[in-house]
Amino acid sequence: QVQLVESGGGLVQAGGSLRLSCAVPGSLSILVMAWYRQAPGKERELVAEISKYGNSNYADAVKGRFIISRDPAKSTVSLQMNSLKPEDTAVYYCNIKLIDTTVYWGQGTQVTVSS
């Protein structure tokens, strides 16, 4: 069973910053690493993703505020979240897609932004 271990969620005031991290097993052939989020009553949505080649993609709502990065040596993917807004409040999920198309999810970490 592949386990993704997330950390870094919490409560922050609007305008503040948080950094999420996700540790994954180092033996996997990962094609894409990503962060999704799901707010109450809404569908899960892609926040940001980064490929094994370093190409990144962001949701329009977070462009210019969030930065996704990966450290292959440590097998981690991080999400630096700046200028947080109350509408960023959600459970954030780490996601990886392997070269063989298998997908794994983390357990989720709560991010709450107060106004």
Q: What is the mean pLDDT of each run of 10 residues along the chain (115 residues)?
A: 92 98 91 97 97 96 98 91 98 96 96 97
* pLDDT at residue number 60: 98
* pLDDT at residue number 88: 98
* pLDDT at residue number 74: 82
* pLDDT at residue number 27: 85
Two tokens, residue 50: 């980064």
* pLDDT at residue number 72: 83
From 12, 13, 6, 3, select the one nearest 47 (Cα to Cα): 6
* pLDDT at residue number 13: 98
Cβ burial, residue 33 (10 Å; 0-12/13-18/19+): buried
